[in-house]
Amino acid sequence: MKKMSLRARVLTGAVAAAALSAGTFGALSANAAQPAAAPQKPAATADVSGRDVHRTSHLTAAAATRAAQAVLKAAAEDNQRVTVAVVDRNGNTITVVRGDGAGPQSYESAERKAFTAVSWNAPTSELVERLENAPNLKDIPGTLFLGGGVPVAVDGAPVAGIGVAGAPSGALDEKYAQAGVAALAR
């Protein structure tokens, strides 16, 4: 899937905002012309008990950015050019930073490593070993079983994943990803 350029995303966002504004203005204008209706009760409400609700924690964008910067700094100290991706608990990308000089393949690889790490709440280097007993794991869409992805957990529950790609080995990628986790612990 091809990613849209920044210019295309900004233009698309502006068009969407204009359409939303026009629709909202039209709805308000239409409602203003009609007499006020009696307030309606909601069709149904439920007071759900706490045992029926699952709550999750998510990493903030500021924390994800801090982790990504720590990864790039650690890689630069070793003169490595990498890309770092940070995804939330659901595998949605929070941030991706392609370091100066990082290879074009590193962008997608970093995202997939981060997704894989958070999905299994384990470093991808450990997950590579699981492929020996369950080779079909590699067929799950969006995953990448190469070293370089680490989960971020709070009280043992995953809240994010950090994926790094572009160093000469998965072990180095994982070392840099761990630097991102360490930055979050400070």
* Residues 122-131: tens digit of each pLDDT: 999 999 999 9
What residue type is 56 in one-letter code?
A: T
Can you give the pLDDT at residue 103?
A: 95
Can you give the pLDDT at residue 99?
A: 96
Which token pair is 82?
A: 């990498």
pLDDT, block means (10 residues), the chain with 186 residues: 58 54 48 58 69 84 98 98 97 97 96 97 94 92 96 93 98 98 94
Can you give the pLDDT at residue 25?
A: 44
Can you give the pLDDT at residue 54?
A: 78
Torsion of CA 91, 94, 99, 105, to 10 degrees: 30
91 torsion bin: left (phi>0), alpha (psi -120 to 50), beta (else)? left
Contacts of 167 (CB under 8 A, 6+ apart): 75, 78, 80, 82, 148, 173, 176
Can you give the pLDDT at residue 53?
A: 82
